[in-house]
Amino acid sequence: MGLGSTPPIDVPDGYRVGPWRINTPIGSGSWGSVYAAEHVEDGTRAAVKFLRTDLLTPGQRGDMSELVAREVKFSLEADHPHLVRTHAAHTVRDRDRPELDGLIALAMDRAEHSLQELLAAEPGRALPSAERVLAGVAAGLAHLHGRGWVHGDLKPANVLLAEGGAVWLADFGLTTELEGTHAYVPPLGTLDHVPPEWWSERTGARGTKVRPAADVWAFGVVAHQVLSGGLHPFPGATARARALAAQAYARGGAPLRLDASVPPGWRALIADCLHPEHAVRSRLNGEQLALRVRELGAPERPSRSARRRTAVLLATAATALAAATGSALLLTAAPDSPSTGGRSGAQAVPPASAQALAEHAAVPRELRPHITNASMRCADEAVSPALIAAILKAESGFDVHAHRVRHGKDGIAVREHGVAMWTPEVFRDWAKDGDGDGRTDHMNPPDAIATLGSYLCYLAGSFRDHGMTEDLPSLLAAAYRTSGKVVRAERGVPERTRAHTERMRKFLAEYAS
Ligand SMILES: Nc1ncnc2c1ncn2[C@@H]1O[C@H](COP(=O)(O)OP(=O)(O)OP(=O)(O)O)[C@@H](O)[C@H]1O
């Protein structure tokens, strides 16, 4: 992240941090080290990132504590299938080990490897799952931008690839919340991925200006790297030379020359992402980016051979560390849900590839574009237009004025409204502006449907994370009725929502082309 390298943090094998037992080191960045870990009780795999605040000059220390605070805040708040999930932030308290005492440790889901490692493993060869990975990155950015956040440090090292084809954005040290159209961060970043305006805008007392357009530029660079086997879009043997070439291009001094290996459809999108002016680039926010990526090609699940390659990479990457034990004090903890499990015996549903909305399907014409858009915003193939339509039908019968009062198990009345039957309080937490009018309203069908798609996208990722991939449509419909937590806890469709999910499946079969 531009702070210069600091020595890796040496944590002994077997060291305890909260409920996590630390194992082997995974890697180190500018300001911390990441270790493989497992839960002492149930063996859940995790990665623990130790963040340091020592060994810095006084000037750097101010930036550092701000970065650590940002990373902790955004990591704990990030909740989306395409953002790495953080379980808790711990502060290490260990008087016997002054070198570890006071470190912050973030316990998060463990990925198999980073995009950077994959690109380095086979330079010159386009990633076989390039489009799926880019779709995941774009969907993660869409979620961040939708919440008014900017990632600020998008690069292959911060894109994690996990079991089952999951793609997560990670490293929220430079993530920030917008104040209007922009925000400020410490003047850090990775030379290869910062936009041209980063160099020309003066750093003020509050730091450097950052906008969503910075993530869009970085996405253009990453997309070029992924599709060309690691090549940066600007020429140069060093990061500084490439940054100078990017600035020359932005001043109009050199044309944009994308590598010939980049597929035609992608060239236009990358050129848009790499537009020299941030004002023009900002017309393409995360959500539109995700939409354009989806238009370029349906994301695929990883092939068996890709999974095998992952395993080989991991085996070669792992290094052992001398055994020792220790203790750490848990200071803060966020709730997590480590339950895993699948479900068997589900009825067959149409394959996701056949779940576009059939022309003859009895789905109102005026809702169709919103349903299709909501599906396109999600990189998960399970969240198909046919599924969204089937859930809407089962929830409200497509009645945009629908209204229902249900009584939960505890007797509390739950009011649900509109075409997607949103409970207003829940809608508020997930709200998406489906028609771009700057407002979000659960009674407005475009907003209600866009929000439904985004919520289903999150649920689909969380079920995949828990190995619950069988009959995902039913799990999603059941979770929308109850909650993801309930469905995960029951490891399948709860009995009380079975009639509802059966109806939804009937509609799904009718609507899928
Ligand atoms: N949740 C995770 N699961 C598996 N590996 C991870 C996880 N988080 C980070 N890593 C890996 O750990 C290494 C160090 O990550 P870290 O974020 O500290 O640094 P970086 O992003 O490589 O560099 P910098 O922080 O300087 O930008 C990287 O190789 C990264 O891919």
Q: What is the pLDDT of residue 205?
A: 52
Q: Are residues 191 and 221 in the same domain?
A: yes
Q: Are residues 43 and 186 in the same domain?
A: no
Range of the structural domain that residue 339 is part of? 304-511
Strand arrangement of the beta sheet that strand 20-29 belongs to? 16-17, 20-29, 32-39, 45-51, 104-109, 86-91
Q: Are residues 413 and 461 in the same domain?
A: yes
Confidence of residue 180 (pLDDT cuts 50, 70, 90): low
Give the residue carrying structure tokens 């980063």: 198
Give the residue carrying structure tokens 């034990």: 325
- The rounded distance, in Å, linking the Cα atoms of 199 and 221 is 17
Ligand 1 contacts (CB < 6 A) are: 1, 26-30, 32, 34, 47, 49, 84, 108-111, 114, 157-158, 160, 170-171
Mutate to test the pocket of ligand 1, among 34, 172, 316, 319 (most ligand atoms within 8 A of CB): 34
Kindly report which listed range (189-198, 251-260, 356-365, 419-428) carries the lowest average pLDDT score: 189-198
Give the residue carrying structure tokens 């260990």: 94
Partners of residue 104 on adjacent β-strands: 51, 91
Q: What's this model's pTM, rounded to 2 decimal places?
A: 0.59
Per the CB < 8 A criterion, the answer to whether 33 and 7 are in contact is no
Confidence of residue 347 (pLDDT cuts 50, 70, 90): very low
CA distances for 474 relative to 51, 383, 486, 492, angstroms: 41, 11, 13, 9
For residue 422, give the 3-state DSSP assignment: strand
pLDDT at 283 over 70: yes
Q: Give the closest residue to 153 by CA, choosing from 141, 135, 165, 143.
A: 141
Q: What is the pLDDT of residue 111?
A: 94
Run of H or E residues at 352: none
What six digits make up the tokens of 456?
A: 């289903």
Please state the rounded mean pLDDT for residues 480-494: 91
Which residue has a Cα nearest atom 1 of ligand 1? 110
Q: How many domains does the chain have?
A: 3
Of residues 309 and 394, the one with the higher pLDDT is 394
Q: Are residues 265 and 150 in the same domain?
A: yes
Confidence of residue 181 (pLDDT cuts 50, 70, 90): low
Q: Looking at ligand 1, which atom is closest to the CA of residue 28?
A: 14
Q: Are residues 147 and 247 in the same domain?
A: yes
In a domain, 200, yes or no: yes
Q: What is the pLDDT of residue 75?
A: 66
Q: Are residues 76 and 198 in the same domain?
A: no
Of residues 346 and 502, the one with the higher pLDDT is 502
Q: What is the pLDDT of residue 2?
A: 40
Among 3-7, 41-45, 50-54, 462-466, name the most confident range.
41-45
Q: What is the pLDDT of residue 37?
A: 96
Q: What is the pLDDT of residue 501?
A: 96
Phi, psi of 182 (to 5 degrees): -150, 175
Ligand 1 centre and the CA of 160: distance in Å?
8
Ligand 1 centre and the CA of 272: distance in Å?
29
Please give the DSSP secondary-structure letter assigned to residue 21. E
Q: Give the closest residue to 106 by CA, choosing from 185, 6, 31, 3.
A: 31
Give the residue numbers of the binding site.
49
Q: Are residues 93 and 120 in the same domain?
A: no
In a domain, 438, yes or no: yes
Ligand 1 centre and the CA of 157: distance in Å?
6
Q: What is the pLDDT of residue 22?
A: 97
Q: Looking at ligand 1, which atom is closest to the CA of residue 158?
A: 21
Give the residue carrying structure tokens 């194992």: 23
Last residue of one domain, picked from the residues 235, 267, 295: 295
Q: What is the pLDDT of residue 313?
A: 31
Task: Express each pLDDT in 225-274 by its tens digit.
Answer: 999 999 999 998 888 889 889 989 988 888 899 999 999 889 999 999 99
The CATH number covering residue 87 comes to 3.30.200.20
Q: What is the ipTM of this complex?
A: 0.96
Last residue of one domain, picked from the residues 69, 89, 110: 110
Q: Are residues 324 and 289 in the same domain?
A: no
Last residue of one domain, picked from the residues 70, 93, 110: 110
Q: Give the closest residue to 111 by CA, choosing from 168, 53, 30, 178.
A: 168
Q: Which residues contact 254 (CB under 8 A, 6 or more apart)?
A: 245, 248
In a domain, 7, yes or no: no
Q: What is the pLDDT of residue 6?
A: 58
Which residue has a Cα nearest atom 28 of ligand 1? 27
Task: Express each pLDDT in 440-459 by its tens digit.
Answer: 899 999 999 999 998 898 88
The CATH number covering residue 318 comes to 1.10.530
Q: Are residues 499 and 466 in the same domain?
A: yes
Give the residue numbers of the binding site for ATP.
49
Per the CB < 8 A criterion, the answer to whether 216 and 284 are in contact is yes
Among 166-175, 195-204, 220-229, 432-441, name the most confident range.
220-229
